[in-house]
Structure formats: structure tokens, C-alpha cells
């Protein structure tokens, strides 16, 4: 099984994904890390030099490759759902969990981080609200499961996701 995490920047895809992969004893891939290895530079620099569309082309290629693996946990970038090809590939080839968060919550988490090029604007909270309004329907259309991430800690979220997968018969029930 490939388990994919989607959601807003700061929703916890990379953090929850890593812990979930340990729990499920599956390899972990973060598409942003794979992209950075391939580009040989931070995403932020590539965005500045080549623009968003060039980044989305590389992202689409990397997601297609990662979603064709045998079994793994896959953390995507927040904009992975923007392309129809990614939405279809992820929904058809993997089990997709949407880590849903409010714009205010993710703003609290990422406001001091300079590595997210889309949020380097005068009013990042307003930007996050706009991005959430645009993307929430796309996240929902791509996901098989939706998990609210506002309050729970990362280990609790891992438990919630495992429980959902067990209930859906995708993991064996606990002994």
C-alpha cells in the first residue's frame, strides 16, 4: 500500500508522514526532498529562478514516479493537487489522507519559516486563506480520508490515521 498525505503547507504532511512510516514500517518519501535532490538546490531558489510552472513540471514527474513504488508513505507538497494529472494518479494508485487545517493554524506553524516561496508576501495569513479556499475542494476530491489536524498532537494524528485504515480494512485489525 502507498499512503499519501496531502494538505496545506504547515498541515504536518512531512512530520506526520515520517512518524507514520515508522509506525507502519514502510519507507518514507517526501516529494519536496526528492525534488530538491534532483534539482540540486532548495525549492525556494528554483522558484525564484525558473518560476512556479517549471517547479510544477518537476513535481508532476516526481509524484508519478513515487506513486508507482511498491509500498511507502508519501508526503507531498501543498500544491501537488493543483494538477489534474497528480490528483488522478494519487487517487487511483494510492490511499490519500487529507490533513485538514485552518489557515490560522498553519499560519501559526509556518510564520517564522522562510522556506515556503508562496508565503513570502506582505500578508501571509491572507495568502493562506486564499490558498485554502482554492485548494480545499481539490484536496477533498483527491482524498479517501479527511483528518482534522487542529488540536491533536503528531502521535495522536498517527493513531487516528492508523485507526481509519484499520476500519477501512486496509490494515489488519489490532490483535
Ligand X SMILES: O=C(O)C1=C[C@@H](OP(=O)(O)O)[C@@H](O)[C@H](O)C1
Nearest 5°: the CA angle 46, 47, 53 is: 110
118 part of the interface to ligand X, by CB under 6 A: yes
Q: How many CA atoms lie within 13 A of 33 on its CB side?
A: 11
Report d(CA 11, CA 99) in Å as an integer.
Answer: 6
116 part of the interface to ligand X, by CB under 6 A: yes
Which residues fall in the annotated binding site for ATP? 10-15, 116
CB 76 within 8 A of CB 90: yes
44 part of the interface to ligand ADP, by CB under 6 A: no
| Residue 149 interacting entry, from ligand X, Mg ion, ligand ADP, none, C-beta within 5 to 8 Å by type | ligand ADP
Burial category of 77 from C-beta neighbours within 10 Å (exposed 0-12, middle 13-18, buried 19 and up): buried
78 part of the interface to ligand X, by CB under 6 A: yes
What does the per-residue mask of binding to ligand ADP show for 57-96, with x meaning CB under 6 A?
Answer: ------------------x---------------------
| Residue 124 interacting entry, from ligand X, Mg ion, ligand ADP, none, C-beta within 5 to 8 Å by type | none
Interaction with ligand ADP in 120-149: which residues (CB under 6 A)? 149
Amino acid at each position: 500500500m502507498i499512503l499519501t498525505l496531502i494538505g496545506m503547507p504547515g498541515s504536518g504532511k512531512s512530520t506526520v508522514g515520517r512518524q507514520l512510516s515508522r509506525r507502519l514500517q514502510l519507507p518514507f518519501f517526501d516529494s519536496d526532498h526528492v525534488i530538491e535532490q534532483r534539482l540540486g538546490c532548495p525549492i525556494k531558489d528554483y522558484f525564484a529562478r525558473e518560476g512556479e510552472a517549471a517547479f510544477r513540471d518537476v513535481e508532476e514527474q516526481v509524484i508519478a514516479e513515487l506513486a508507482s513504488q511498491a509500498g511507502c508513505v508519501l508526503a507531498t507538497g501543498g500544491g501537488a493537487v493543483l494538477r489534474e494529472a497528480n490528483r488522478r494518479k494519487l487517487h487511483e494508485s494510492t490511499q490519500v489522507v487529507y490533513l485538514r487545517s485552518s489557515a490560522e493554524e498553519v499560519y501559526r506553524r509556518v510564520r517564522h519559516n522562510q522556506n515556503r516561496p508562496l508565503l513570502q508576501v506582505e500578508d501571509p495569513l491572507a495568502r493562506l486563506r486564499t490558498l485554502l479556499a482554492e485548494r480545499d475542494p481539490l484536496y477533498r476530491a483527491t482524498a479517501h480520508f479527511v483528518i482534522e489536524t487542529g488540536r491533536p498532537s503528531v502521535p495522536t494524528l498517527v493513531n487516528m490515521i492508523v485507526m481509519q485504515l484499520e476500519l477501512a480494512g486496509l490494515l489488519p485489525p489490532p490483535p
